[in-house]
Structure 1
Amino acid sequence: MGPMIGGGFLGGLRAGWRRLVRRLARAALLDAEHEARIARDRLRDAIEAIPEGVVFLDAEGRYILWNQRYAEIYHRSADLFRPGLPLVETLREGVRRGDYPDAVGREEEWLADRAAKLVQATGERHEQQVADGRWLLIEDRRTREGGIIGLRVDITQMKRQAQALEQALAHAEAANRAKAEFLADMSHELRTPLNGVLGLAQALEATALDARQNELVADIRASAAQLDRLVTGLLDYRDAELAAEGRARDVQSATHAAAPELRILAADDNPTNRKVIELMLAAAGVHVVTVEDGAAAVEAWRAADFDAILMDLRMPVMDGLSAIRAIRAEEREAARPRTPILVLSANTSAADRRASAEAGADGHLGKPLKVEEVIAAVQAAVAPPPEAPI
């Protein structure tokens, strides 16, 4: 009986121990599940507190957890979200529904590119537009366990602000261009008659005048010079060559220094300016042929030989730059000798001078014209190049 009693006791003890272990295991499991629920709830509370869309995926790119903001951002696809479903599958259905405008017409290519970015999950950011016009910033990054945490930020307002800024900059640039064009027009309209006044005064000063007449001419030049200074200041030009000259300039010496027997073609749409050029150069013994637009200048150049051409820029029918280009092109095609061309214009900005040079001009003189400068420029243009040293 003793051994049986002992065996029964031990058997009961083992059974009781097993029950205790099972109860402890169940309790531990319940505790673990409870702790897991608490941790999961805390994680959910944490990601729900984040104002941007957040999604957790496993290592295979399948949904684990996402916050409400993520569902709101992708509200057209939110009905597809469920744990264990690959995110790529929701993207595929979204493409079928037309949720992603960039995918239209290139659906498989778009899906392959998006899937590749998801696999890499390097944290590189890219933008995505959805069907309702919103723009999203997407960032996917691998966790230490191999899963993926994704961030979705609605940047629609930022994009609109950037577009508004871009439009504002474009308007500002257009305003600056309009301002520059206005100043160029003003320069031309003011300097053209001013050139006539100064040019005629210089031509008159070069003739035989009595003392009273010389005083009147000097007063005219002084008043014109003052107006020139005002125009220069208004247009913010710093070209010292346009500053007023002294009343004691010896015009006679400048005109007599010009080389005679030159034949010059001058194009200017303003009759007074054409008269000024004729008087300036005729006093120096230069024969001048004048025309009133660029097309007439090209035709005159084709019909006769000229030692140099003086070309205004703003003219009807054909402007000066177009006329210069046409002449240079025909010279190259017909192998004609190169005729020196000097621009005489009220437009004297750096851009205007650069445009003249690019068209093929050999010089650019600003109006109001000064007789000695015109003659010196013509002399320099027609002078033969210096011989190379032996």
Structure 2
Amino acid sequence: MTVARKASGGATPTPAGFERSSGVFGRLTRLAETLLAPAKAQITILIDGKPWRSHDPENTLGDKATLTEMAIAAGKPVWIADAREHPRFRDSVYVTGEKGLRMIVAAPIRLPDGAVPGALVVGAREPRKRDAELEARLMDIADLCADEWLRVQSQAAQERSQQESRAVRQVLGAIIDSAPLSLLMLDAELHIMGASRRWLESRDVTRRAAIGRKLTDIMPQAKAWQPTFDRCLAGEAIQSDRGEVEGPDGSTQWVRTELTPWRDADGEVAGIIVASHDITDMVEALEASERSEERLKLALEISEIHVWEMDYIRRELTKVGAEDTFFTEPLSYRDLLRDIWGGVDPRDLPAAQAMWERHLRDGTPYNPEYRTIRSDGKVVWAAGSARMITDENGRVVRLIGALQNITERKQAEQALVRAKEEAEAATRAKSAFLATMSHEIRTPLNGVLGMAQAMARDELAGPQRERLDVIRQSGEALLAILNDVLDLSKIEAGKLELEETEFDIGELARAAQATFAATAQAKGVKFELKVAPSARGLYLGDTVRVRQILYNLVSNALKFTDKGKVKVGVARRGGSLVLKVSDSGIGIAPEKLATLFQKFEQADASTTRRYGGTGLGLAICRELAGMMGGAITAESKLGAGAIFTVELPLKKLSDSQRPAPAPRSDSGAAPEGRALRVLAAEDNPMNQLVLKTLLAQIGVEPVIVGDGRAAVAAWAREPWDLILMDVQMPELDGPSATAEIRAREAAEGRPRTPIVALTANAMDHQVSEYRAAGMDDFVAKPIEAGRLFEAVLAAAEQSEAAQAAAAA
């Protein structure tokens, strides 16, 4: 419900404002009650359509703004002589109920502007006819209510104005304090009315101490500025580019100042606003520059900087510095006016001109670097800078520029580029060398270790067995060194990539125990393995690298332990897999622990002489653990063994363990009992012999060809269960031959023949290339017999599955 007419002017009072006035309204309602005693009265005012009542919070009269609305609508008193006979109120509980109201009068509260915001409502238990005199008295009380309404309204408007004024002052104060200038507000008598934080700090005075005081009390020298203040108070805005003032400590300060008159509400000048900017540093620098012009010229010449300025008004050129660095002959104003780009190398001119156009268009800083060509043919690299100065009408008046000789820097940059290219070439050469070394060392090692593995299955006498073990161990040691060097090279080059595969940690640990059991037994060292139940299960990680870390630590423990025991523990702590390898060996001195994981470091030089090794294994383990997000630590005392702990935050997939693999026969039998048909492409006669010898031990007699072209031809003539493909061969290399076979299989609809790469180049990126060419697997050289047999047997199973699928 709204009032009949909105009150003009002022602010609408809030209910809180009425509450503060409730005493007055209460007295007015009690006065109304005395006129009809016994009676009940209340004042109802509609605020935003909601009734506010005074004196009667329990709403004794039951007025839900109905009577008030009637009085507002009528604009005059509403007199109900007997509510029981009134059609609108006779059924009201306030009439028929306990309260039993009979006579009700609502006198409108009328404001001077005609607005009616509410009404004075009075009710009695006895019916009563309209009484003009009583009605007039009630209207008098309603008029008093209107007066109180106006007072409350005025008070609310005043409070709001004060709040807004405080807010404005706070905002202005914040703006003044955050301004990059010193601001001061003075009245006409030069009393300080306001000051910014910067001004107060510059005068070393607090705000409390400054406000209200005369400026001359804080700055006595301001007395000399009275004529300037008088001009400003007369209405003139005054600007001073450079003025000297005395600081509070007696020092000289230089300021750029603007004085602006401020006016009161009547438009009269009421004071001065002083805005000043401290330019002391600038002035001192300028004075120092003026005092040392010759030194500046010398410095510019030494720095090979040439500064120039074209004055288009005076038509003159001012220049200082190393002009002769860039130009054979001094240039004049006319020379630059005719061709300001003269001397710029044509190769760099378009870029320099384009940058200048951008500078003119949007103000982008002009700072090109280009070559200049002197008339004597000498080329000088220059870093340029220029700025166009215009007047208030946009007319160009000056052009300021500078050139700095950066020839040495450019030569250094070019040398750096060459050095980078040479370093990259060296890196490529290093990679090529490592690949070549890997191939050239693995190839003869293949013969040594391959034949040693073959002979190990023969019946040998004791001395022959010992000599064979020496050959095998020496070859394996050389292979381990080669692998360490290659791994370290990949780590340093950032090319070693981790893979994520599922693996059983218990299976991996048991494999380590089986691998080193013979070594431990030969040394008389007890070898224990304990896998905690909470650690058992399948994990996601790089199986090869986890195995490499564990095997390296176990190998070291056995190497440095001559008696006692080596213990491998597997546990789970938090979210990490924990591998712990402890031994009762020679131990490590505390001062050596800090460098133990550095490259080429061992406990001491005698360790290398006695036990061998390159000192790379632990460094590689640390790098691998770090790449997995984990760490490796060592604890030891000299003579008391050592404990190495590896923590790897690997995701555990499940608590279940893989079933032990079913034992597989070393037989090379193919499906249906026939001999496995194996084609071996190998160009090296020694490697051919190794293949024949090793495969013969599982009943496989391979067909040997000497190059990739012959391998493709042999495949085309007849089907094979497996192709062993050397990578580097004449005529056609292994990957190319494989790609051709795969293409022809697809074109001719032939079954896929398993192809296993035989390679001395077994770095990760190389293996990826082999798989991309279509090879299914690889066996690294030197060939490990078990790995070769595993590949052959896998091929046999794959061939059987393919034939079964074709038959179906």
Residue deviations 1:47-94 (CA, integer Å, cap 9, x gap): 74544222335699x975442436334415744x317x765x4146x2
- Corresponding residue for residue 111 of structure 2: none
What are the Cα deviations for residues 86-134 of structure 1, in whole angstroms up to 9, with x where unaligned?
65x4146x2xxx752316xxx8x67863651452452243221122322
2:367 to 99, 112, 125: 125
- 1:15-67 CA-to-partner distances (Å, cap 9, x unmatched) read xxxxxxxxxxxxxxxxxxxxxxxx9x95994874544222335699x975442
- Residue 369 of structure 1 and its aligned partner are, at CA, apart by 0.9
Q: Which amino acid aligns with 1:75?
A: F
Of the candidates 405, 416, 429, which is equivalent to residue 154 of structure 1?
405
Q: One-letter code of the match for 1:136? A: A
Count of aligned residue pairs for this structure pair: 331
Q: Which has the larger radius of gyration?
A: 2
Instruction: From the superposition, tell whether residues 255 and 206 of structure 1 become closer, same or farther in structure 2 (CA, over 3 Å).
Output: farther
Q: Of the two structures, which has the highest relative contact order with CA contacts closer than 8 Å and spacing of 6 or more?
A: 1
Which string of whole-angstrom CA distances, capped at 9 and with x for unpartnered residues, describes residues 297-337 of structure 1?
Answer: 22222222222222222222332233233333434444443
Aligned equivalents of 2:781, 2:418: Cα separation in 1: 38
Aligned to 2:785: 371
Is the Cα–Cα contact under 8 Å of residues 118 and 140 in structure 1 kept in the other structure? no
2:310, 2:333 within 8 Å by CA — same for their partners in 1? Answer: no
1:269·1:293 contact (CA, 8 Å) conserved in 2? yes
Structure 1 CA distance, aligned partners of 2:753 and 2:781? 22
3-state SS, counterpart of residue 125 of structure 1: coil
Whether contact under 8 Å (2:355, 2:368) holds in the other structure is no
Counterparts in 2 of 1:231-380, with a 5 A limit? 231-233=482-484, 235=486, 256=666, 258-260=668-670, 261-380=675-794
Question: How far 1:236 moved relative to its partner?
Answer: 5.2
| Partner residue in 2 for 1:54 | 307
Change (3 A) 1:100 1:228: closer
Are 1:138 and 1:151, in contact at CA under 8 Å, matched by a contact in 2? yes
1:170 to partner: Cα distance:
1.9
| Higher percent of residues as strand | 2
TM-score by length of 2: 0.36
Change (3 A) 1:114 1:355: same
Counterpart residue identity of residue 316, structure 1:
P
Counterpart selection for 1:186 from 417, 424, 437: 437
Contact 2:678-2:721 within 8 A present in 1 as well: yes
Q: Distance in 2 between matches of 1:187 and 1:259?
A: 34
Counterparts of 1:181 and 1:168, CA distance in 2:
19
Deviations 1:132-161 (A, max 9, x none): 322212223455867543232221111111
User: Who is 1:67 aligned against?
Assistant: 319
Question: SS state of the match for residue 347, structure 1?
Answer: coil
Taking structure 1 as the reference length, the TM-score comes to: 0.69
Q: Is the 8 A contact 1:77 1:90 kept in 2?
A: no
Instruction: Identify the residue that residue 166 of structure 1 maps to in structure 2.
Output: 417
Take 1:230 and 1:74, find their aligned partners in 2: how far apart are those partners? Answer: 60
Deviation at 1:199, TM superposition (A): 1.5
Amino acid at match of 2:421: A
What are the within-5 Å matches in structure 2 for residues 26-41 of structure 1?
A: none
Quote how far apart the aligned CAs of 1:346 are.
1.5
The answer on whether the counterparts of 1:268 and 1:274 sit within 8 Å (CA) in structure 2 is: yes
Give the equivalent residue in structure 1 for 2:448. 197
TM-superposed CA distance for 1:197, in Å, is 2.0
Aligned to 2:201: none
Instruction: Let me know the Cα RMSD of the aligned residues.
Output: 4.1
Cα distance per residue 1:263-299 (max 9 Å; x no partner):
2221222112112212222322334111122222222
Q: Confirm or deny: 8 A CA contact 2:682 2:706 kept in the other structure.
A: yes
1:200 and 1:255 map into 2 onto residues whose CA distance is 21
Residue identity (%): 35
Between 230-239 and 337-346, the greater mean CA deviation after superposition = 230-239
Q: How far apart, CA to CA, are the structure 1 residues paired with 2:668 and 2:344?
A: 79
Equivalent residue, structure 2, for 1:31: none
C-alpha separation in 1, matches of 2:747 and 2:387: 65
Structure 1 residue 196, shift from structure 2 partner: 1.4
Residue 130 of structure 1 aligns to a residue whose secondary structure is strand
Hey, what does 1:134 align to over in structure 2? 380
Report if the CA contact (8 A) 1:258-1:376 is conserved: no
* Contact persistence 1:254–1:372 (CA under 8 A): no
2:311 and 2:317 in contact (8 A); partners too:
no
Hey, what's the Cα distance between the residues in 2 that align with 1:44 and 1:91?
30
Instruction: List gaps (5 residues or longer) in structure 1.
Output: 1-38
Secondary structure at 2:791's aligned position in 1? helix
Give the structure 2 partner of residue 101 of structure 1: 346
Amino acid at match of 2:405: D
1:247/1:218 Cα in 2 relative to 1: closer, same or farther (>3 Å)? Answer: farther
The answer for the alignment partner of 2:339 in structure 1 is 90
Distance 2:387 2:752 in 1: 68
SS in 2 for 1:67: strand
Q: Deviations over 1:340-382 (max 9, x none)?
A: 2221112222232232223332223211111111121233345
1:356 and 1:122 map into 2 onto residues whose CA distance is 54
Contact 1:139 1:151 survives alignment (8 Å): yes
Contact 1:263 1:307 survives alignment (8 Å):
yes
What is the distance in 1 between the residues matched to 2:359 and 2:484?
63
Higher helix share: 1
Structure 2 unaligned regions, length at least 5 = 1-286, 491-495, 497-507, 520-662
Distance 2:747 2:322 in 1: 69
What is the match of residue 116 of structure 1?
357
CA contact (8 A) 2:678 2:724 kept: yes
Asked if 1 retains the 8 angstrom alpha-carbon contact of 2:356 and 2:366, the reply is: no
